[in-house]
Amino acid sequence: MFVCCRYDFGWILALSALFTFSDASSQTVNQELSNIFNELWKLDVNRLMPGTHYNISLQGKAGYIPQGSTSAVDHASSPLFTSVDEAKLNSMTTYLLDNYERSTGVAERVTAEEVTENNSFLDAVLETAVMKRAHRYLIGKGKSHSDLRQFKSQLYYMWFRLYHRDRNGGEDSSGFEHAFVGETKFGREIMGLHNWVQFYLQEKQELLDYKGYKARDNDAPNEDDHVLNVQFSWHGLVKPVASAFVGVSPEFEMAIFTILFLTSTEKTTTAVVNLDEYQLEMVVHRHGRSIGTAYPKLLSSNNRHV
């Protein structure tokens, strides 16, 4: 189950697409965040492994299209995911994908059952070594309380609190819905949907069509990569460039973006990190004390930045 406000994120996403393939060598790496994120990477025992738990087919390189497009040349005749070990996936207590209203401006109706599911999901996340380490790090930084109940409340407010993403509608969005599930804006633009499980499930239902990978000519991805830039269509709209982790657990994604969010007060926080064999620009945009959007932006893979 996986799950951009009264603020217009269109210009942010357009700039993100424009600078996705900036020169990694010109970026200043945040070494402290690199260190803690690599610790969390090593602790992520729920990460699915390529070739074992899933297989992907990268196919062709997608072309340029502007934001708001409804069509794109398809450089991938087959889905991105050729197989996923669903038994492995479903055995994870931290995999949650609820039904959310796709369009911003349409108020969400959160039932008591959904609140219970969200709380159970957070309880499971808090039991993982990944989130326990992230919690200790945030306590050390003075950004979270040591009391687990207070930390859980902090996480719930950050990720699941409903807020107005469209100024004319009701409480229509949350950080979790945007980043993990995806939304559409006025039926003209795809927002969010940075989670690989949601991508796979939407592909399986033939609601999402993978159009090809995005990369610089000298940095083509491999099928065992855990971070990809891709292009896809969803419900009649096209996302020109979307960056996402592949195979990682939801607790890993929540942990790194929670750290990035809580250790900064900027409206939009970016940090370049070296994670495993990748150089990434991590991006978090805040909506008050909640997450507006959060995603990785792949700068370089296969240690080409070293």
DSSP 54-89: EEE---SBP----TT-S------SS-SEEEE-HHHH
> Choosing from 135, 164, 185, 194, which is the catalytic residue?
194
For the segment 90-138, what is each residue's pLDDT rounded down to a tens digit?
Answer: 888 887 665 444 444 444 566 788 788 889 999 999 999 999 999 999 9
Kindly state the average pLDDT of the residues 271-276: 97
What is the Cα–Cα distance from 36 to 209, expressed in whole angstroms? 35
On whether residue 51 sits in a domain, the answer given is: yes
For the segment 252-270, what is each residue's pLDDT rounded down to a tens digit?
Answer: 999 999 999 999 999 999 9
On whether residue 21 sits in a domain, the answer given is: no
For the question of residue 178 being annotated catalytic, the response is yes
On whether residue 129 sits in a domain, the answer given is: yes
**Structural domain for 146, as ranges:** 31-301
Sign (positive or negative) of CA dihedral 204, 209, 215, 219:
positive
How many domains does the chain fold into? 1
What is the Cα–Cα distance from 259 to 245, expressed in whole angstroms? 17
On whether residue 306 sits in a domain, the answer given is: no
Lowest mean pLDDT of 13-22, 46-55, 251-260, name the range.
Answer: 13-22
On whether residue 16 sits in a domain, the answer given is: no
pLDDT at 183: 72
Percentage of residues in the chain with pLDDT exceeding 70? 81
CA neighbor of 246 nearest in space, from 210, 292, 271: 210
pLDDT at 167: 58
> Choosing from 185, 239, 285, 305, which is the catalytic residue?
239
For the question of residue 61 being annotated catalytic, the response is no
CA 31-157-269 angle, to 5 degrees, is 30
> Choosing from 178, 185, 211, 226, which is the catalytic residue?
178
CA neighbor of 258 nearest in space, from 145, 135, 80, 87: 135
pLDDT at 175: 79
On whether residue 186 sits in a domain, the answer given is: yes
pLDDT at 44: 97
What is the Cα–Cα distance from 225 to 246, expressed in whole angstroms? 7
What is the Cα–Cα distance from 284 to 300, expressed in whole angstroms? 19
Cβ contacts of 155 within 8 Å, gap of 6 or more: 122, 125, 126, 254, 258
Kindly state the average pLDDT of the residues 149-176: 78
On whether residue 14 sits in a domain, the answer given is: no
Q: Within 13 Å and on the Cβ side, how many CA atoms surround 53?
A: 19
Are the C-beta atoms of residues 276 and 306 closer than 8 Å to each other?
A: no
